[in-house]
Structure 1
């Protein structure tokens, strides 16, 4: 039997695989040449916008994009695996001006597309050299109309390296500098945030309570730093919005996710109208834990007496077994990821918290990052990130410019893969193990319906208040507490007021409102999963066809084409929510008092 490493191999990206790799820095040194070629192509388009010059411009954009993407992948891996890697941080900072140059040139190209008259643009989109890019050209044209002049947008882009992007990096530095001292099994340990977060589902209630208190206090101690960082990151974004005449803070995230406001409202409406079963679940879980009401410390607490540990090898084998039942492409890809050591899962200090998947289209390689501690939840997380990587694998035949999909559909593939594993685990288990795994599955729905909605409510309200000036740390705590109580239907005895400080997603500069796309992906994947179970193994090719379309159409059109449904209507989302409710009902039945 093949043994899989839980440490990734970066040497197949760049010889040496470290932040001082000569091959890595030689590649970085080539980027100015690619940017010069892009500048020449853009100038040719500006001088004479023809089908030929536009096609050449798209080719130059692609060349810069895929090369810079590979560098970005390497930097993401280096800074995640070792938060003390100073060389990686310096290189990351030095790359910012190059990204800014690319953004400026891309904007100039987009501006030419925007200024074409309608008849010429439509004719160009029908030309053989451009027909395959009609969607993204139309998207560029539409979005550029909403922007400022080339000079003003150039200034905003130039300032980002020392604006919102710098504040995002400040958050990473603050987190990297934090240690959390907790006592586990009688031993005091000094842990990173990623390590201490894994203890939130510790079977010992005393450990969970200590972890919750230590995390809350640590962020309370530094709340002024985090409040300052969040306020200025958001302030930079809002200043740009104001200059562009954008008043609705959701306009940009909706455009980024290629979805309508009606779709977002329909989704949240279905969830809000079906909150009662999940509140009942939390109340019941609290009683099983011997509590009158659910606390934040116990949200992830195991309710069954099970100490089953699944080492990395066992987790990999379990994933491969059940991916195989879905289809050979998914299983074959995942096996490749394990065999080629594309996964960093070791539980060690100085790693960044959380998990991610990143892919370089230049050489068709992905890398997956997480901290694996031997729980079934970790296995689900690993499957989730493999789903992201499989999405990129499905897109291999697609031109890179048509493979840039939005976050909401990105979360569909990952959640779909996670669902395969969660269902398989529940079906295979017996007794307390079955109860534990079913609870973990329900907890995922609670997280995506309640936790994510609380983030959405907080961020929406914070941005509205930030328009009028700095929002104090005290007020941020109040906003978060109110959002958590509302989203959890009043089921919580205690909340996590400093969640706004502890959650990385609020500090990502590239994508505002890094929350609702998760819920979209979860519910969308429920619909796809239901269809997959109905059709069987033959569905895999249909699924891959859907994934290949994710980068070149709006989500409403995507769902209509592949599922034949209107997602601007609550009925579509209600079906997914109802499937999650069935898990709640099954859990309540299994754990009811005799």
Structure 2
């Protein structure tokens, strides 16, 4: 709480600094940046100067920041408070009744091998979020309403301007990524339908997307936390000894809070502490391969921060889309490692499915979120949006993204997804898909290069806050992100897994 109270003072200092940079005459500014002491942070100074041109008076900006404590930030905190009260009743096999937190119910709903259990929890999950839907609707309306009002008062009419600038990304790049994905969706729909058939259904049910595919006598492998740690460290080492050493340090120093206990919210995240040069991870671990992948994902974030601690502070502020690149790359290492050690056809099918679940999340689920947020922001610009309208928007977005291929939908997904309620970052979701495909390109590069990869990879990570995303891709990968070729190449790599899954499973339907 003390941190939040002090935040407006820091923001006021940054306001004054930004405006002073913006006030410098252009010729003097260009001359100033030729100073050898400033060259390394010139890009970041240019961004700060750009932002300074949008700012109002120091007093007005201070009012915005102070009011946001009980406005934007308060609504985001309010969401956490409501989520903490979510309880999902459940009866275990032995007849004992338990009350699951949102985090526990989410893991069980997505990964339980029993379809009846998944269906039961999904029904109770929808009910739990719908019972508090009006509270979540108020929260979302006022949180994004505050953001839209603030943008408008700063002369920003396009609600995507801020997230694009935050991610140092062109609209053209984002549009090209989504349009290329959209053109390639049918094979992923076919995969979902095939998986549904393997699970005994004609069409995929929402709650079954991450269900394990267990054929023949195959039982899904589980990992204790210590086994997960050993597996991650071993496979990180094949690509980067420094990644492996870092991961080992994170485990040994207890930087990962993964206890499966009541009261925890769903999801996982990584938080960095510059003063101690540590990164700590929060998640709920329940022994499945998905949770092993989550640990690897968050360790990718932590490693990204670790290779930048010696840089100027301004050059450590990398954007979310490239942050998701490092994390997804780490996750890819673990996914491929599990595939390589598969002993049977049934096990390989199971592990391919686990890997493809990530692709579905990036190409379908997160596209749903992007479509939904666009529609919600457009409606919110005209006034408050009702709970019913929000749920309708969500179902429509799901149908559009999944090509209307599912047997059922999740109307209150908007309420259950934390990412819509984060105060610091608008449009929190599309950077995941960007990072996924960008990391696919890096992973292919790693497999080709092998010997020099570690140095090249760390060099790319160290540049992530010092140039635009398009410049980063051009410098380190030699690709143009505004063209579909790069995105198609990444999707083609994923389609190889889809084709293999379809081939291996054809005799089981």
Which range, TM-score by smaller chain? over 0.9
CA contact (8 A) 1:183 1:207 kept: no
Question: Per-residue CA shift, 1:416-472, capped at 9, x if unaligned?
Answer: 000000001011112222211110101110001100000000001100000111100
Residue 228 (structure 1) aligns with: 138
- Distance between the aligned counterparts of 2:33 and 2:275, measured in 1? 26
- Which residues in structure 2 correspond to 1:191-270 (within 5 Å)? 191-199=100-108, 200-270=110-180
- Distance between the aligned counterparts of 2:305 and 2:197, measured in 1? 43
Shift of 1:132: 2.0
Shift of 1:410: 0.2
Secondary structure, counterpart of 2:147 in structure 1: helix
CA contact (8 A) 1:356 1:368 kept: yes
CA contact (8 A) 2:257 2:281 kept: yes
Question: Per-residue CA shift, 1:251-278, capped at 9, x if unaligned?
Answer: 0000000000001001001100100100
Which one of 448, 465, 473 corresponds to residue 387 of structure 2? 473
Q: Where does the alignment leave 5 or more consecutive residues of structure 1 unmatched?
A: 1-91
Q: Does 1:328 align with 2:328?
A: no
Q: Does 1:371 align with 2:284?
A: yes
Which one of 167, 170, 176 corresponds to residue 84 of structure 2? 176
Shift of 1:153: 1.9
Residue 257 (structure 2) aligns with: 344
Secondary structure, counterpart of 1:591 in structure 2: helix
Q: Does 1:391 align with 2:281?
A: no
Which one of 18, 22, 27 corresponds to residue 119 of structure 1? 27
- Which residues in structure 2 correspond to 1:115-514 (within 5 Å)? 115-185=23-93, 186-199=95-108, 200-304=110-214, 305-431=218-344, 432-514=346-428
- Distance between the aligned counterparts of 2:256 and 2:101, measured in 1? 20
Shift of 1:576: 0.6
Question: TM-score, length-normalised on structure 2?
Answer: 0.97
- Distance between the aligned counterparts of 2:456 and 2:38, measured in 1? 26
CA contact (8 A) 1:345 1:369 kept: yes
Secondary structure, counterpart of 1:341 in structure 2: coil
- Distance between the aligned counterparts of 2:311 and 2:39, measured in 1? 14
Q: CA RMSD in A?
A: 1.1
- Which residues in structure 2 correspond to 1:29-68 (within 5 Å)? none
- Distance between the aligned counterparts of 1:184 and 1:209, measured in 2? 15
CA contact (8 A) 2:41 2:312 kept: no
CA contact (8 A) 1:164 1:509 kept: yes
- Distance between the aligned counterparts of 1:131 and 1:525, measured in 2? 28
Secondary structure, counterpart of 1:158 in structure 2: helix
Question: Per-residue CA shift, 1:170-224, capped at 9, x if unaligned?
Answer: 0000001111112232432201100110012100011100111011000111110
- Distance between the aligned counterparts of 1:269 and 1:98, measured in 2? 43
CA contact (8 A) 1:327 1:537 kept: no
CA contact (8 A) 1:184 1:207 kept: no
- Distance between the aligned counterparts of 2:391 and 2:431, measured in 1? 24
Residue 14 (structure 1) aligns with: none
4+ aligned runs moved over 4 Å, structure 1: none
Question: TM-score, length-normalised on structure 1?
Answer: 0.83
Secondary structure, counterpart of 1:565 in structure 2: coil
Question: Per-residue CA shift, 1:524-578, capped at 9, x if unaligned?
Answer: 0000000000001420110000000001111000110101111011111111111
CA contact (8 A) 1:306 1:436 kept: no
CA contact (8 A) 2:86 2:129 kept: no
Q: Where does the alignment leave 5 or more consecutive residues of structure 2 unmatched?
A: none
- Distance between the aligned counterparts of 2:419 and 2:196, measured in 1? 28
- Distance between the aligned counterparts of 1:494 and 1:590, measured in 2? 27
- Distance between the aligned counterparts of 1:184 and 1:418, measured in 2? 32
CA contact (8 A) 1:395 1:403 kept: yes
Residue 522 (structure 1) aligns with: 436
